[in-house]
Chains A and B, each alone.
Chain A
Amino acid sequence: MSSSSRTNRELFINGILNENPIFRLALSMCPAVGISTTVMNGILLGIAVLFVQVFSSCTISLIRNHIHPRIRIPTYTLTIATWVTVIDLVLAAFFPTAYKSLGIFVRLIVVFCFITCRLDVFAARNRLFPSCIDALGMGCGFLLGMVVVGGVRELLGMGTLLGYNILGFRPMFFFALPAAGFFTIGFMTAAFNHMETVYNRKKSTSRGSAASGAGL
């Protein structure tokens, strides 16, 4: 994970593709299942996560030389908790209806593993600017994942996207049910795994060990 050899663009893309929190790392699935019934919910939570990730990465990156290694995890948690409180209050004040639909999940951003993971792996070892780019990439990756899952569920379940009627009918209302989040993610990861094996089979000459998406 050394940053010096990687350009900013690679850092940004890394969070979106190679280490996408939802599809590749399979971390923080709770919101992806719980509130991804519509695209709008996905976008809102994604933006909240993006803010928290960027701000806490910047904070940790700035104070990284003053953190004693033994108390680093509590420091990360408290930093994230502070920024989550800020976002929580801002959302509650300016977007009360959206805040209500997100429910408890805004506050639960504190325990999303990939944010802490990013702070430990990247922000604590790199300067401000690369940490910021890396955080932006991870945040956007999460946002993208939520939007894709939300989009599939909303399109298949209600026949709409962002509230606009696209299909004019409801192909599979089942997907709008809360429990269908598990099926959506299950089938999507399976589809990604399949595409990956096909892709690897085609390029099997040089790249031997592409990370398997099936691992935890």
Chain B
Amino acid sequence: MRRSFKISFLLIVMMICVLSGKCRAGDRFIRNSAFKGDRQIIVTFAGPVSDVWANDISNFTVNEKPDPDIMLEIEDSTLSLDKTSLVFTFKDPLNREVPHCLTLKQIIADGRSQGTATVTLRKNYLAHLFSVFLGAVLIQNFVFVKYLGLCVFLGVSQKKSTAVGMGITFTIVIVFASMLSWFLYRFVLKPYHLDFLQVIVFIGLVSLTVQGIDTVLRKVNPALFKSFGVYLVLVISSCIILAVPLMLAANDYDMFESLMLSLGAGVGFLLALFLMASVRERLELANVPTPFRGMPIAFIITGLFALSFMGFSGMSLF
């Protein structure tokens, strides 16, 4: 009981930290802002604004949040007839995956200045989370597109049952491990400028997680341990388990994005293992030329999967 209480307390603290960091810096006068099409941003105001102010492009600056010093070039700004919504058109298509910062200098409405406002635009957050998840499963599948975790992938994809067992164990471990490492990176390594210790800390955390899950599972559910325990040792030798925390740190993801990415990585690995195992079970009956038996044919099949997964590249849902 005390243990679960501690864990839930920790989770609540994490949620509060994340949510408080996510408050949008906006202005009272701006009601809404959104992407419209590929190269337009639409801003809605609480009241009519001055058209002289609205048509002067120098009043507005837009930049992608990660690069505050690169201003995007605004081609045109058009005010709607009721003077409450303003559409910006950009020279180049916007990358809607990245949050954008829009600064409106000295908004003039009702003949007086309403002050300067900065708004952050981002895609619908849930949709964004879903696209992170789907991206990790299909578009950037860790095995077929990023070519990681191949040792384990080729080792345990002989039988469907093994593949599924490994996939599930892997997903659980990677979610735990990457959430832990995200937490440690965000609140310890980054504030104290210990970024260079990433590799050492993350690999230590991953081993700890594996050992922890091993111990807990052995005590709590011996039956489950019997069927999944074997895979736990293997998990640690997969590159993906280290690659995901490193990617989280490099991209500066927040908590839910990290959760989605790690879940996606696990599910993607499960998918890859299952697909491969299905083919390899069939392959046992096929007449493969002698020199190709074993590893070579497995590599070629993986290559075919990789080629077909290239078809997902460039796919965007939202």
Interface residues of A (CB under 8 A from B): 26-30, 33-34, 74, 77-78, 81-82, 84-85, 88-89, 104, 107-108, 110-111, 113, 177-183, 185-187, 189-191, 193-194, 197, 212-216
Min Cβ gap A74→B in Å is: 6
Interface stretch, picked from B176-184, B235-243, B258-266, is B235-243
| Interchain CA distance A29-B298 in the complex, whole Å | 13
With both beta carbons as reference points, the residue of chain B lying nearest to A84 in the complex is identified as B199
User: CB < 8 Å: which of A104, A110, A185 contacts B203?
Assistant: A110
User: Once the chains bind, are A28 and B151 in contact (CB under 8 Å)?
Assistant: yes
Verify B310–A186 contact, CB threshold 8 A.
no
Contact B204 A182 (CB under 8 A): no
Which single member of B151, B200, B299 contacts A30 (CB below 8 Å)? B151
Chain B residue nearest to A28 (CB atoms) is B151
Report the nearest B residue to A180, measured CB to CB: B303
With A26-B295, A180-B303 known as contacts, the answer to whether A81 contacts B203 (CB < 8 A) is yes
A81 to B242, CA, bound (A): 11
Residues in A neighbouring B289, C-beta threshold 8 A: 190
Q: Are B294 and A215 in contact (CB under 8 A)?
A: yes
Give the distance in Å from the alpha carbon of A28 to the alpha carbon of B247 in the complex.
20
Q: Does B149 contact A (CB under 8 A)?
A: yes
Contact mask B189-224 → A, CB, 8 Å, 1/0?
000000011111001100100000000000000000
CA distance A193 to B299 in the complex (A): 14
Q: A34-B148, A84-B199, A179-B303 are in contact. Are A78 and B204 (CB under 8 A)?
A: yes
Question: For the complex, what is the distance from the CA of A206 to the CA of B170, rounded to whole Å?
Answer: 46
Known: A104-B246, A111-B237, A179-B310. A193 touches B150 (CB 8 A): no
What sequence of 0s and 1s flags, for each residue 108-152 of chain B, a beta carbon within 8 Å of any chain A beta carbon? 000000000000000000000000000000000000111111110
Report how far A81 CA is from B236 CA in the complex, Å: 14
Interface size class for chain B? Answer: 35 or more
Q: Contact: A191 with B242, CB < 8 Å?
A: no
> Is B314 positioned at the interface, with any CB of A under 8 Å from its CB?
no
What residues of chain B lie closer than 8 Å to A180, measured between beta carbons? 303
A32 CA to B250 CA, complexed, in Å: 23
Q: Answer yes or no: B297 CB below 8 A from chain A CBs.
A: yes
Chain A residues contacting B243 (CB-CB under 8 Å) are 104, 108
Residues of B within 8 A of A183 (CB): 299-300, 303
Closest CB in chain A relative to B74 CB, distance in Å = 31
Nearest Cβ on chain A to B134's Cβ, whole angstroms: 20
CB-CB under 8 A for A111 and B242, given A34-B147, A81-B199, A193-B291: yes
Point out the residues of chain A lying under 8 angstroms from B169, CB to CB.
none
- Extra inter-chain contacts (10) besides given A26-B154, A29-B150, A189-B295, CB under 8 Å: A85-B200, A104-B246, A107-B246, A108-B242, A111-B239, A182-B306, A183-B300, A191-B291, A213-B295, A214-B294
For the complex, is B20 an interface residue (Cβ under 8 Å from A)?
no
Shortest Cβ gap from A32 to chain B (Å): 9
A73 to chain B, nearest CB (A): 8
A30 in contact with B239 (CB, 8 Å): yes
Which of A190, A197, A215 is most buried by chain B, counting CB atoms within 10 A of its CB? A190
